[in-house]
Chains A and B, each alone.
Chain A
């Protein structure tokens, strides 16, 4: 099955700096890569996703890049704000399969 590794496990940045979280996946047939944000006591919420036919996608301060050859994808958050503090999860899904595998998560802390 798919194996998703996520780094780093914790990340601390100053407000206004950029944050980058990286994930690698094992199955070259994976073709859908979402990123979820989880705030304390809540369920994860989708913030951005990318499909394998696209190399980069942006939504305001958030961007995701995908390198299919190297089998890795990254989340970039620019101009970080304290409200960006949360746990972020990457995930990968293969084909039309409902089995989506998640990374272990990154706890991002943005210091004011």
Chain B
């Protein structure tokens, strides 16, 4: 049972480049999330998907887009990367908002 799998683990982008972070969960969870983690700021919610076919903005959605491809997969896209998007990105999932959220291992993204 792999849990939540994120790819890639590390990525370096040049300013203006685009990329998609992939996330898949094998726990049949309804809800999936994307967070970014910056030093001294904890985890901030970028976007979430309460169920297949729905997505909603979180605390810091600007500069990002998401796709809930199916129940298992939730991708995060940076259309034109900026240095301010240098961060560690975590994908998470849970069955309901009141149950444990399981996190992936993270993607360390550097934009130069």
Contact = CB atoms under 8 A, between A and B. Distances in A.
B103 A104 contact: no
Interface string A1-27: 100101001000000000000000000
A98 interface: yes
Interface in B44-66: 44-45, 48, 50, 56, 58-59
Contacts, number: 63
B40 A100 contact: no
B75 interface: no
The contact size tier of chain B is 20 to 34
A34 B43 CA distance: 13
A98 B66 CA distance: 16
Nearest to A93: B97
Given A45-B103, A99-B48, A99-B59, A105 B42 contact: yes
A100 B98 CA distance: 10
Interface of A: 1, 4, 6, 9, 32, 34, 36, 41-46, 49, 51, 89, 91, 93, 96-105
